[in-house]
Structure 1
Amino acid sequence: MTREQPGAPESATYVYAVCRRLDPAALSGLTGLAAGFPVRTLPLGSLTAVVQHVPAAEFTEDAWQQRLSDRAELERCARAHHEVVTAAAAFGPTVPLALATLYRGDERAQQALGADRDRFAAALARIEGHAEWGVKVSLPATASESPQSAPSAPPRNGGGAGRAYLERKRGLHQAREQHHDRALRTAEDIDAALSRLATATRRLRPHTQEMTGERHRLQVLNAAYLVTTVRERELLEAVELLRRRTGAEVEVSGPWVPYSFAGEV
């Protein structure tokens, strides 16, 4: 990603994506990140960039840092960015660029993006006819110790009781480890089954319980799969079968623009 802080110009060029030939009418009516400036195409030789003029003073590095610290504003920008990328992708393979990809003007954008034309072309060929599907797998977290299962403190003068207490405590520890191992094996089995249907896969960091807000469930797999359109139904059928076979909660989302597989440029 190339991010440049606009200097003197009154407007900067914001870049959403790079694709092949695109009818500008496909972008009609999109607001993008800056109302009053049309979302448009910018030629890059045999390729096309999807861009928009934005007020330079409102899209400086400092302004972006403020947006990143404002959850509502960040979400608005991300949604606007994604809406434009999705509109372009409806007409053919599209390489989305990262949020806040800015240049000092159209000419500078053409120079910088044109220098990566071969990489863009390779990425477009790689994702053509594909979509990204996200899969998250969760299982019950290790059950917290109930009053009945938790070992009570041993009597002060009870040697046998003390040994029993330590044995129960050791047993609970082993049960937690076994539960965790089974959960990881389930995640690996599900990933292996879905990977066989995908052209490419990407393992992402699972969300913690603090992030999900689900104290009683543990996310053991967070992955993205690049799947051809002709295998999408097969993927969904495999997910349903895996749900029944493993008892895991398997959340599937898609089809998405292949953000995870387009490659960063």
Structure 2
Amino acid sequence: MSVAHDELRYVYAVCRPPTAPLAADLTGVGGVPPKQLCHEGLVALVGPVPERDFAQDALRAHLEDLDWLAETARAHQRVIAALATVTCPLPLRLATVFRDDSGVRAMLEDQAERFVRVLDRIEGRVEWGVKVHVEGEAASATGRAEEPARRGPRTGRDYLRQRRRQRAAHEEGWERAEAFARRLHEELSSHADDARLHAPQNAALSRASGRNVLNAAYLVPRSHSEEFVELVDRTKDEGRGTDCLRVELTGPWAAYSFTGDDITEGAGDENVKGAGDDTVTGTGDESGGGA
């Protein structure tokens, strides 16, 4: 595949040879169909991207543009999701780019042992994401404690007493929510091959209602996914009666959270552009993963 001088190679994922072709109308970043680049039993799914957008300085600026970032992440996830229907992919970080095909092959060769080890670990498995949100600041106990406050304090002492009751009820509500989240995580982890706890989502970025008290990913055999989903569904009923908890299940995804963060290290700085500090991980809700 020839490369224009103003193009770089965007790498979506590494996998073993797919068992079937990808859809002919599949497009990735920039609306360009991805191609397979094979090297000694491994396959990198790649596509050309313009250097003006993905060279280090340009990419650093683009990562501040949430609209550009979201569009790129959707295209990245679209390719990963399609690849997951024909093989078990190891997704690379969003905006992992190389100068040319030789740089991609060098990465495959340098990281072959690690790639094979991770592919063996995630083979036949998918990632499910589970989040627990507490809807709003008013948990049920807090709401009951605030009822007298609506009538207004009669004295300064009454006001301070009401404020103490409100704070105590508020803290009690969060403690119950966090205890529920811990129990849920322990239960789900016992039914998964592996689990990852991610940092709670920022509501301003995720636009999800309520406060996020659990943001976890679970690596589950594809053949056991139905049982895992049923287990999560049962917990939703428990959550509805506990301080306005909302349990959210997403997936199945490719195993974004279980591939390691250093998968492109050691490929050679002369080949990699936009990796390391200038990349963002292709996980989480932006790209469809468990984060």
Same fold at TM > 0.5: yes
**Aligned counterparts of 1:63 and 1:153: Cα–Cα separation in 2:** 62
**Aligned counterparts of 1:24 and 1:11: Cα–Cα separation in 2:** 28
Q: CA deviation at 1:195?
A: 1.1
Output the amino acid matched with 1:128: E
Q: How does 1:168-179 map to 2 (within 5 A)?
A: 168-179=162-173
Secondary structure, in 3 states, of the residue corresponding to 1:17?
Answer: strand
**Residue 82 of structure 2 corresponds to which residue in structure 1?**
87
**Aligned counterparts of 1:261 and 1:109: Cα–Cα separation in 2:** 22
**Residue 154 of structure 1 corresponds to which residue in structure 2?**
155
Q: Is the 8 A contact 2:19 2:87 kept in 1?
A: no
State yes or no: 1:14 paired with 2:7. no
Secondary structure, in 3 states, of the residue corresponding to 2:188?
Answer: helix
**Aligned counterparts of 1:208 and 1:39: Cα–Cα separation in 2:** 32
> Could you give the per-residue CA deviations for residues 68-103 of structure 1, whole angstroms, max 9, x where no partner exists?
222222211111111112222211111011111111
**Residue 257 of structure 2 corresponds to which residue in structure 1?**
260
Q: Is the 8 A contact 1:135 1:222 kept in 2?
A: yes
**Residue 102 of structure 1 corresponds to which residue in structure 2?**
97
**Aligned counterparts of 2:170 and 2:239: Cα–Cα separation in 1:** 18
State yes or no: 1:47 paired with 2:42. yes
Please point out which of 202, 212, 215 is paired with 1:219. Answer: 212
Secondary structure, in 3 states, of the residue corresponding to 1:74?
Answer: helix
Q: Is the 8 A contact 1:28 1:39 kept in 2?
A: no
> Could you give the per-residue CA deviations for residues 107-136 of structure 1, whole angstroms, max 9, x where no partner exists?
122112310011111111111111111111
**Residue 4 of structure 1 corresponds to which residue in structure 2?**
none
5+ residue gaps in structure 2?
A: 264-291
Please point out which of 198, 201, 209 is paired with 1:207. Answer: 201
Q: CA deviation at 1:18?
A: 0.3
Output the amino acid matched with 2:8: A
**Residue 3 of structure 1 corresponds to which residue in structure 2?**
none
Secondary structure, in 3 states, of the residue corresponding to 2:236?
Answer: helix
**Aligned counterparts of 2:15 and 2:67: Cα–Cα separation in 1:** 29
Q: Is the 8 A contact 1:24 1:40 kept in 2?
A: no
More displaced 10-residue stretch of structure 1: 18-27 or 171-180:
18-27
**Aligned counterparts of 1:256 and 1:194: Cα–Cα separation in 2:** 17
**Aligned counterparts of 1:54 and 1:243: Cα–Cα separation in 2:** 43
Output the amino acid matched with 1:17: A
Please point out which of 223, 231, 237 is paired with 1:244. Answer: 237
Inter-CA distance 34–208: structure 2 relative to 1 (3 Å threshold): closer
So what's the TM-score if we normalise by structure 2? 0.77
**Aligned counterparts of 2:21 and 2:239: Cα–Cα separation in 1:** 47
Output the amino acid matched with 2:191: L
- The alignment of Structure 1 onto Structure 2 pairs a total of residues equal to 249
Please point out which of 134, 143, 148 is paired with 1:139. Answer: 134
Output the amino acid matched with 1:250: V
Q: Is the 8 A contact 2:148 2:162 kept in 1?
A: no
5+ residue gaps in structure 1?
A: 1-7, 156-161
**Aligned counterparts of 1:191 and 1:126: Cα–Cα separation in 2:** 21
Q: CA RMSD in A?
A: 2.5
Q: CA deviation at 1:222?
A: 1.1
What percentage of aligned pairs have identical amino acids? 34
Output the amino acid matched with 2:148: Q
Secondary structure, in 3 states, of the residue corresponding to 1:177?
Answer: helix
